[in-house]
Amino acid sequence: MSKATQLFPLDFLKKMQLDSESKWLLLTSSLSSIITLVLILRLYPYPNFLPDSYSYIDAAHNNVNINMWPVGYSKFLRFISVFNRSDTALVIIQYFLLQFSILFLLFTIKYLLQPGKWLMRIIFALLILNPLWLYIANFVSSDALFTTFSLLWLTSLFWLLYQFNYKMLILHALVLGFVFSVRYNALYYPFISMLVILVTQGGWKAKVLRIAIVLLPVTWFILYTTMTFKERMGVATFSPFGGWQMGSNALFMYAHVPPQRDNVPKQFVTLHNITVKHMDSLNKLQQRPDGELGIYYLWDEKAPLKLYLEQKYRKDSTTPYLKRWASVSPLYGQYGAWLIKQHPAAYLKYYIWPNFINYYSPPTEFLGIYNMGSDTVDQGAVDWFGYKSNKVHHFSKNKIIILTSVFPLLLAMINVIFFFGFIGFIVLGGFSKVSPYYRKVLWLMVLIWLGNLAFSVLASPIVLRYQAFPFIFTLTFAVLLIGFVIQESRQESKPIAENPLPDPAV
């Protein structure tokens, strides 16, 4: 096989096998991962459940191809169940997949960017020993799997930038297709992939072919999902959840403006009347349930979206719930867009700005409390994992998870360090002192960071578990950038040795 057709350069594989530093990092990372995993399994004999968990389990049990959430994680649960239905096995697999993807990213950076030995050791320690991954992997949720494949997507982009080959391109396309099916936070990933392909070597015809290969799995998934929703639910949509989310986001804003009682479009009259009545009720409360951005307007049975759904199907006991839920999605999306159009400034003030602050320091949400504060799980979890009863427990009677409360502050610090580290890199002439490949990688990271910021703020209320992927790559490059700034600052602060003029008398 020629060098051009290798998935990875032979030198990279040899260094992984022969380099003593790489072997030491791999050994210590593996041992520390095993030790911390054993510890978390002892402290938490049962995994952590959240409302999404039961939807995923139900979809896996029925082997459905469409659901409220993307079906990638449900298919993953079903695949794992072929070999083992133990919840412990699920946590172990999720954790080691996540740690593998982190190691793959770090060893790739070590080979391609060649940072200093101690700088690399610091990054390994900060990421491999990070307890946040244990808590994320301990969820029956798509968070760990989405983070894993997002890291694989990013790492494969690094390799495509470094040395293009079609085997890596196909691997990248498959990873992109799967991560797209796990969570719709990946909606901006294809655009990043296309931009990277455009800067690879080759003519325009070759680049068009490469883009087509990358987009094929994603396009197939979108078309199949849309057609399946049309066939089974009567709604031609890729994600009904998008309409619900748009309506929910707009309602968080609308709770702060005077209600409009006239000139309401005909199709929104019933829903708007429910909304106005609900807002009037909330205004009488001392402590409002919508005081912070979250899931109130999405899932609370007393909130307008759920009330309208109940009212619409009050006399219909035959239509499945998923079909009811999907049928109102287009209306909710249009209603949310109409509310935002009526009050754009208020939307910026009461939704965009608070959500931007959440990106800076995201709330812990379900990461801050074990099993939503309950000591029982739904019957679906009992049946799927084979529990003897619906009772679950962990090492403490207190359901609050104290350790995760420090991570919002840490993520805020990491984002600030990354931002000012990049500014310092530019001021110190960093782009003229690194290789062309290093420059491409840095611009790629800034682009992904900005893309994730824009998508996260605009799409839905931000919480900590959604930011695991940006946490990892932002921390990695924050350390690299600060390392460069410190090194350059030390060199500039060193006194320049003077060369004395020769003594004419000598």
pLDDT of residue 496: 53
**Summary count for the chain: helices (H), strands (E):** 23, 0
The closest of 404, 408, 409, 393 to 369, measured between CA atoms, is 404
Asked whether residue 339 is domain-assigned, the answer is yes
Asked whether residue 474 is domain-assigned, the answer is no
Angle between helices 143-162 and 189-198 (to 10 degrees): 10
Range of the domain at 245: 240-352
The two structure tokens encoding residue 366: 């379900």
Q: Cα separation of 64 and 84, whole Å?
A: 20
Asked whether residue 4 is domain-assigned, the answer is no
Helix residue spans in 240-378 (DSSP H): 240-254, 269-282, 296-299, 304-312, 321-327, 329-342, 344-347, 353-360
Indicate the number of domains in the chain: 1
Asked whether residue 128 is domain-assigned, the answer is no
The closest of 484, 381, 370 to 433, measured between CA atoms, is 484
Q: List the chain residues with pLDDT less than 70.
A: 1-5, 492-506
Asked whether residue 438 is domain-assigned, the answer is no
The two structure tokens encoding residue 77: 């649960």
Calculate the average pLDDT of the chain: 92
Asked whether residue 34 is domain-assigned, the answer is no
- Are 470 and 362 in contact, with CB atoms under 8 Å apart? no
pLDDT of residue 505: 41
- Are 121 and 25 in contact, with CB atoms under 8 Å apart? yes
Helix residue spans in 19-71 (DSSP H): 20-43, 51-62
pLDDT of residue 57: 96
H or E segment to which residue 407 belongs? helix 407-427
Asked whether residue 346 is domain-assigned, the answer is yes
Asked whether residue 361 is domain-assigned, the answer is no
The two structure tokens encoding residue 223: 């078309």
- pTM confidence score: 0.93
Q: Which residues pair with 139 in a beta bridge?
A: 48
